[in-house]
Structure 1
């Protein structure tokens, strides 16, 4: 069906939209008029479905001229005739890729909702409402984009930049080049320009096209349809705000400030190694269990200075006549017992009887 050739097309009734009480929308449509696209986007809405189907089935490009048949008659469309029919400018840049980068940067801030430059790989929701509509016009009626219309592509934004920043363009060559890509097999351009091609065919001498079809009024931008477009955008924005989850701030971790000149010390992983002298310790523990704790001899209270003459000399723990090696042996045992932790004696084992050590025993 030929209706697929214009199902997404947006045509413009400039007289209606310029009477709107919306400065943003009016200024955007005035920019389209100033760019020279009024004759292409606002031409008479004529659609000949049978001729359109025949045209796209037999079309080809030869030496820069579009050749096809419509209702059995040969049709040739040149760039000059195409530009003359829609009163398109033929001076200026012939390719949107030639638009200066500074102009694109300026446009990215002008159309932005927040004032920050829009992201070209993002969605058109970043832009003000009247520029979102301009983005749709560029996508559907100019570049004839196939697929989703929500993303901001480089091609669409370059076309918008030409209108917003008033870049002088050779629209006759630009739009005719899009038409040539559209009719070339293997390209990603959808079949479009239904109204414009129908008008061209209607001006071919001696070509009987039959009855025309009615173009959908919902696809014509008038004061009424533009207001409906704004209402849909406002409603979808309110719904997104209602369903959007509230952002919660993650708690901040408090970190101590470390001076820049202090070197960072890396912690080394330590492992417990088995003591090589564990066997000796076990033997020592065994001896400790059998050893009898030494009873500490309570020292006598020192007498007053005036009574020292009548008191006998204090008894030394190690008499002078004791061999030195025996005294050192006892001292070593005492030091080892003090260094080792206390041994837990199981409940079922009999208690060890503690006896007093007699230092006068000759066996010591």
Structure 2
């Protein structure tokens, strides 16, 4: 179960990505830092699998707080504790539908031409998440402490079926809880951390992706992959064109001997119908008798 929780998590090593040569990618990470998300996305911590699994098995929302039981001890986290732990902004928009429409349109253009995106990735980005991306790109102040805490509450609510992606952040919260022995830890998977190398590899693999935003179906751009042409290249001028030899299955090809010239008959007379006489039945002859005279 712990591996499934980690699959939906990722972290950013900001000091590494700021050294990239790709200006567009650096600008994107600078926007994330300016929005106040560096403490939340850039935190590093060990993973305590046993405590993490036990927390999600028992966690729930009560009185607008996330509560749970770990090692038989009760833990609870409020919005204030959550925002203070990761130094999240507590002022600004609390509803993403209030993001100005012009900023949403500008974000469509920016993510379509300036940022490499994987084909089909926007299919998994909800409308609310794209509005978050638009607010970050437009420099809008957002109350990230409340917004992210509301997502945290959705993670422990069974009816919402929210992806549980806060594994690093929850481990940090549990580490700060009193009287808990979290046991052995394991490192966060390196491939889940965005560095200059991992981001550069991602860009290299998806550099041929194009995005069509001329007629967007909704508020998110549609990602299309360049189709590779399967046509054969035309032969160069003066280059002989080879023809395919047609093969015949079945009888063997006639030999040269069988293809000898046969003279044709000239002035062919028409055929006439000749009646055929019906043969007569043969006559039966009696055997000859010899005359024997008395002595």
Normalising by structure 2, we get a TM-score of 0.69
Aligned partner of 1:181 in structure 2 is 154
Alignment equivalent of 2:139, drawn from 142, 145, 166: 166
Q: Secondary structure at the match of 2:201?
A: helix
Aligned partner of 1:98 in structure 2 is 98
Kept after mapping to 2: 8 A contact 1:97/1:158: yes
1:128 pairs with 2:115: yes
Cα displacement (A) at 1:7: 1.0
Q: Secondary structure at the match of 2:207?
A: helix
Higher relative contact order (CA 8 A, sep 6+): 2
CA distance, structure 1, for counterparts of residue 147 and residue 185 of structure 2: 28
Cα displacement (A) at 1:197: 0.2
The 3 A distance-change label for structure 1 pair 110 and 236 is: closer
Q: How many residue pairs end up in the alignment?
A: 217
Aligned partner of 2:164 in structure 1 is 191
Cα displacement (A) at 1:109: 2.5
**Which stretches of structure 1, 4 residues or longer, exceed 4 Å deviation after superposition?**
none
CA distance, structure 1, for counterparts of residue 14 and residue 84 of structure 2: 20
Cα displacement (A) at 1:235: 6.1
CA distance, structure 1, for counterparts of residue 169 and residue 70 of structure 2: 15
Could you report, residue by residue, the CA deviation over 1:245-280 in whole angstroms, capped at 9, with x for unpaired residues? 68xxxxxxxxxxxxxxxxxxxxxxxxxxxxxxxxxx
Kept after mapping to 2: 8 A contact 1:8/1:219: no
Kept after mapping to 1: 8 A contact 2:208/2:226: no
The 3 A distance-change label for structure 1 pair 53 and 19 is: same
Could you report, residue by residue, the CA deviation over 1:42-97 in whole angstroms, capped at 9, with x for unpaired residues? 00232111011100000111110011011221100000000000000000011212
CA distance, structure 1, for counterparts of residue 49 and residue 104 of structure 2: 38
CA distance, structure 2, for counterparts of residue 57 and residue 16 of structure 1: 35
Aligned partner of 1:243 in structure 2 is 228
CA distance, structure 1, for counterparts of residue 151 and residue 196 of structure 2: 29
**Where in structure 2 are the equivalents of 1:285-324 lying within 5 Å?**
none
Q: Secondary structure at the match of 1:111?
A: helix
Return the structure number with greater helix share: 1
Q: Secondary structure at the match of 1:243?
A: coil
Q: Secondary structure at the match of 1:212?
A: coil
Q: Secondary structure at the match of 1:61?
A: strand
CA distance, structure 2, for counterparts of residue 149 and residue 196 of structure 1: 24
CA distance, structure 2, for counterparts of residue 56 and residue 210 of structure 1: 17
CA distance, structure 1, for counterparts of residue 32 and residue 128 of structure 2: 17
RMSD after superposition: 2.2
Structure 2: gaps of 5 or more residues: 211-224, 232-295
Aligned partner of 1:21 in structure 2 is 21
CA distance, structure 2, for counterparts of residue 214 and residue 74 of structure 1: 26
Kept after mapping to 1: 8 A contact 2:8/2:163: no
Aligned partner of 1:81 in structure 2 is 81
Aligned partner of 1:211 in structure 2 is 184
Q: Secondary structure at the match of 1:29?
A: helix
Cα displacement (A) at 1:8: 3.0
